[in-house]
Structures are given as C-alpha cells and as structure tokens.
C-alpha cells in the first residue's frame, strides 16, 4: 500500500504542466497505443512490461515494440550547504547498483536523497531525509534542476535542491535509520574539495555531480544572501 501511494503521487506530479515545449514535440493523447501490459515484478520497486506503438516523427505509428521499465517512484535529492563556512555535507553508503554491476568498491559518495512518500511533497521529503540521514535541519531549500536520470529504463524522476544549513565540524559522523538497515557516513567538505573529488572521478554519482556544478554556478549569490539564485 505505501508503494501504491508513492506511485500515485508520482503519477499526479507527472501530469502537472511542465515547461512549455520549445524544441521537443508536444505529445497528444493518441501518440502512444498500448497493446499489452504486465507487471512482472512488484515489491518495494516494480518492473512493468509493455507491448506498444508510438507516434513516429513522420506522423505514422511505429510497429509494436516490447519495452520494460523499472519503477521506483519519485525521489528528492538535497546537497546541504553552509554558505558562511563555504562547505557541504555529503554521505557515503553501500549501493546495490555498483555491486550488481561488479564494481569492487560499491560504496558511493552521494548527496542526501530518498523517496517522496505518498502524501508528502518533494520539498517535505528533502527536509525529512536531511534529518534522517544527517541529523540536519535546513533553514532554506533552493530548487536546482528536476529531471529523469535514466528515462530509457527507469520511470524515476528526481527533484534536486541545495539546502542551506549550519555545518559545524561535529555535523560529520555515522547515521541512518536502523529500521531501514541504513549505515551512512557523513563527510563535511570545503566546497573546493567537493569539486576536486568531482573532477578526479572519485565522486561518480550523477545527482551529486550535477548539484555540485549547479552550486558552483550559484554559490556566490548564496554567500551574499541572495538565495533566489
């Protein structure tokens, strides 16, 4: 049931008006025709399989194609930033994706992140995750960019933010929710150290990389108190 609520919230947000198309085509209701649908796996996440046709750029319909999609609900991602000290908090934890791929070091450096639960907004999820994963209260939440990270294979949509907060030296440490088997280590990094880890490739988590570059572009305004950057 919680996954149904999460999925329902994601569907409702997906149907909200987005940026008006200027380059890409504007979709219509009859542009996709589903011939067959099956939910082949359902647990905390789900996998769905479709036989469908889609509208081609020449106006005709494609042949029937088979596509599978991994559904995990929407997620909120937040990079905590202390503009006074010019430093960020990042977290480190074991990740199944790198492990299943065969990576010999499946611990990643990431921003704080988590699923948007049913009945909550992405902003509420970002604040909740900051408290659960790092014990942080955010005094301002600044939207960065929202996007599909891997639209060919996943129905996930990310809402990303920079969260202004206070990051004293003792903000680092071990955290996470025991009930969710989380084992999370928080690191406090000067902003320039964050960027050096991005450039070296040690940080190879896409949402954190994008947030780091977004913050690099806007951090001067934040340090001057212009949080509407």
Q: What residues are labeled active site?
A: 180
Give yes or no for a contact between 90 and 107, defined as CB atoms under 8 angstroms apart: no
Phi, psi of 131 (to 5 degrees): -75, -45
Vertex 199 angle, CA 194 and 201, to 5°: 95
Give yes or no for a contact between 194 and 109, defined as CB atoms under 8 angstroms apart: no
Give yes or no for a contact between 133 and 176, defined as CB atoms under 8 angstroms apart: yes
Give yes or no for a contact between 163 and 81, defined as CB atoms under 8 angstroms apart: yes
Report d(CA 129, CA 20) in Å as an integer.
Answer: 31
Handedness of CA 144, 145, 146, 150 (dihedral sign): negative
DSSP assignment letter at 2: H
- Reference 193, options 202, 204, 184, 206; nearest CA is 202
Which residues does residue 108 pair with via DSSP β-bridges, in sequence order? 93
| Sequence-distant (≥ 6) Cβ neighbours of residue 226 within 8 angstroms | none
Residue 79: both structure tokens together: 């990079």
Give yes or no for a contact between 95 and 132, defined as CB atoms under 8 angstroms apart: no
């Amino acid at each position: 049931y919680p996954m149904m609520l999460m999925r329902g919230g994601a569907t409702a947000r997906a149907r909200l008006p987005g940026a008006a198309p200027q380059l890409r085509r504007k979709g219509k209701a009859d542009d996709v025709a589903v011939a067959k649908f099956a939910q082949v796996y359902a647990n905390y996440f789900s996998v769905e399989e479709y036989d469908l046709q889609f509208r081609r750029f020449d106006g005709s319909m494609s042949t029937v194609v088979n596509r599978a999609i991994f559904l995990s609900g929407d997620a909120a991602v937040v990079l905590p930033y202390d503009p006074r000290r010019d430093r960020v908090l990042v977290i480190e934890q074991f990740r199944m994706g790198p492990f299943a791929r065969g990576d010999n070091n499946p611990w990643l450096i990431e921003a704080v992140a988590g699923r948007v639960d049913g009945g909550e907004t992405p902003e509420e999820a970002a604040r909740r995750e900051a408290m659960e994963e790092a014990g942080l209260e955010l005094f301002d939440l600044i939207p960065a960019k929202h996007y599909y990270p891997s639209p060919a294979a996943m129905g996930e949509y990310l809402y990303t933010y920079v969260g202004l907060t206070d990051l004293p030296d003792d903000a680092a440490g071990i955290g996470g929710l025991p009930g969710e088997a989380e084992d999370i280590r928080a690191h406090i990094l000067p902003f320039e150290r964050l960027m050096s880890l991005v450039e070296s490739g040690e940080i190879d988590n896409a949402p954190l990389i994008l947030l780091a570059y977004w913050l690099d572009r806007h951090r001067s305004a934040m340090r001057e108190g212009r949080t509407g950057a």
